[in-house]
Amino acid sequence: MRYCRKLKIIILAEVLLILLLAAVTDGRKQAEQVSSTALLEEEGETDGDFIRWVDFQASCDALTLAYGIDVESYGTDYHIDWISLLAYGAAKSGGEFGKQGMKAMEAAAERVKSGESIWEEETAGLESYPYYEEAYDAALGGMVGEFLLQEKDENGEVVWRRKYGLKAFSPIAKGFPYSDFDDFGSSRSYGYKRPHLGHDMMGQIGTPVIAVESGYVEVLGWNQYGGWRIGIRSFDGRRYYYYAHLRQDFPYAEGLEEGDAVTAGDVIGYMGHTGYSTTENVNNIKTVHLHWGLELIFDESQKESDNEIWIDCYQISRFLYKNQCETRKVEGTKEWERVYGMEDPAVERYLEEKNN
């Protein structure tokens, strides 16, 4: 009798173990499927599919490598844009950009350059490549392209020259000191416990804050968390740049209003430490700094919801350090302005559409 009971218990345990293993295996398959598509479908939220989560891990080194190959190959028969190359590296390394991902990017670019293959052949069969291409295009789509820029010629005269390359800028003006570290996701407690969904750059009160990318001013004013802040939307609608804790009494560039178009490199405001108060114009932040954040928007339902996608922009900040905007003081005022003008075709198109 005891033997039969033990046998029943053993059989029952084995059945439970088989069911558990089946559940785990099924769960892993489902997780892999979600990971490969990165589309977390939520019933009833939308009629269409769109990306709901992005883990942006492109390092400064990876951004620099891809950008260099893009610029070097521009105008050739084998031009490889940096977003496609970054998406390829991510697809080959599971979103990581260590030595494996970097070497894969270099090798693929060299094969295309030498004529051994074409880009479509390199990406064929990479199941996650379309996802990474769409995600990285949303994050970086307006940062590289053609533009006109003022610069000094060999005689010291300022002239306009047509360029192709990096047309995004560091959010801190050239020559102004700051310190930073990767603080994305660290805890915040004012109002309620929440993660830090941006990047802090500590500096001096009044440091000119620069528009990273061209776009239009979507939000301007006071927010109890961000103090005086500016929200700028990219012209393609997929990026929302958030600049917060701007200077008390004089937070914005003179005349800046909601709906205005701004060009990358424009002075849009000044560093301060306002915020953490329902009362406007209050310095309740201990450390003077600029908080800037980058939200990706694949569908307007994400813009202000529980499904917002904010990415870690520390590595982007490091990359953009190579392109700081030179500014000068406007005599007799508190204002600063850019030294060299820039004409971005994206701004011209926006203004034409707006006026028509």
Residues 192 and 239 in one domain: yes
Q: 111 CB contacts (<8 Å, ≥6 apart)?
A: 117, 122
Q: What is the pLDDT of residue 41?
A: 37
User: Kindly report the CA angle at 312 between 136 and 219, in degrees rounded to 5?
Assistant: 90
Q: What is the pLDDT of residue 320?
A: 98
Q: 247 CB contacts (<8 Å, ≥6 apart)?
A: 205, 206, 228, 269, 270, 271, 272, 274
What 3-state class would DSSP assign to 4? helix
- What's the structural domain count of the chain? 2
Cα distance between residue 247 and residue 206, in whole Å? 6
Mark the ranges of the chain whose per-residue pLDDT is less than 70. 1-48
Q: What is the pLDDT of residue 339?
A: 98
Residues 110 and 206 in one domain: no
Whether 19 is covered by a domain: the verdict is no
Whether 49 is covered by a domain: the verdict is no
Q: Return the closest-CA partner of residue 313 out of 59, 143, 91, 97.
A: 59
In degrees and rounded to multiples of 5, residue 273 shows phi and psi of -150, 45
At 216-257, the pLDDT tens digits run 999 999 999 999 999 999 999 999 999 999 999 999 999 999
Which two structure tokens, joined as six digits, stand for 160? 């306009």
Whether 35 is covered by a domain: the verdict is no
Q: What is the pLDDT of residue 48?
A: 60
Residues 77 and 209 in one domain: no
Q: What is the pLDDT of residue 196?
A: 87
Residue 125 sits in which domain range?
60-140
At 150-166, the pLDDT tens digits run 999 999 999 999 999 99
Q: What is the pLDDT of residue 30?
A: 34
